[in-house]
Amino acid sequence: MAGRIEQRLIELGITLPTPAAPIANYVPFTVSGSLLIVSGQIPLRDGAVAYAGKVSVEVGIEDAKAAARLCFINLLAQVKAAAGDLDRVTRVLRLGGFIAAPPAFTQHAAVMNGASDLAVEVFGDAGRHARSTIGVPSLPADAAVEVEGMFELG
């Protein structure tokens, strides 16, 4: 039987993927007390990068927002692997976004809203979080966006 958060995902038409395995010497998440920290997730779909390239060059703003949303879905897959039950999440504490874009790009916040908006859609007020959004010259596997997260577990 699906819990409250998994039921919300069903309502949103979201199916969580199998959590991605690390591609280097790190772990996908760590837990310390009630704090869950999830490593950065790129916009993988079926094992491949769904949005590659620089935002505003090869990837438009709306697609970049969709990439950030997909990164958050991949974060949720890691959260479920770590916590066993998404209903254990009592708060989304922080999201960090990395946007691959040219130096003149300034719409990082709009892109990251793809992840932030979904956090609130899924968790309601408990999804409101602190965040940082940073422009970078490139990301692993030429991903357009990467999102990391910090969650409180109950």
Angle at 41 between CA 39 and CA 45, to 5 degrees: 150
- Rounded to an integer, the average pLDDT of 109-137 is 98
Q: Is the predicted pLDDT of residue 2 greater than 90, yes or no?
A: no
Count the domains in the chain: 1
Q: What is the pLDDT of residues 19-71, one digit of tens each?
A: 999 989 999 999 999 999 999 999 999 999 999 999 999 999 999 999 999 99
pLDDT at position 23: 85
Give the pLDDT confidence score for residue 1 in this predicted structure.
64
- Mean pLDDT value across residues 88-108: 98
- Which neighbouring-strand residues pair with 130? 94
> Whole domain around residue 27: which residue ranges?
4-153
What is the percentage of the chain residues whose pLDDT exceeds 90? 98
- The domain spanning residue 41 has which CATH number? 3.30.1330.40
- Please determine, for residue 112, whether its predicted confidence score (pLDDT) is greater than 70: yes
Per-residue HEC secondary structure of 34-83 comes to: CEEEEEEECCEECCEECCECCECCCECHHHHHHHHHHHHHHHHHHHHHHH
Task: Write the DSSP assignment of 79-123 as a string of letters.
Answer: HHHHHS-GGGEEEEEEEEEEEE--TT---HHHHHHHHHHHHHHHH
Residues forming beta bridges with residue 121, ordered by sequence position = none
Q: Is 147 helix (H, G, I), strand (E, B) or coil?
A: strand
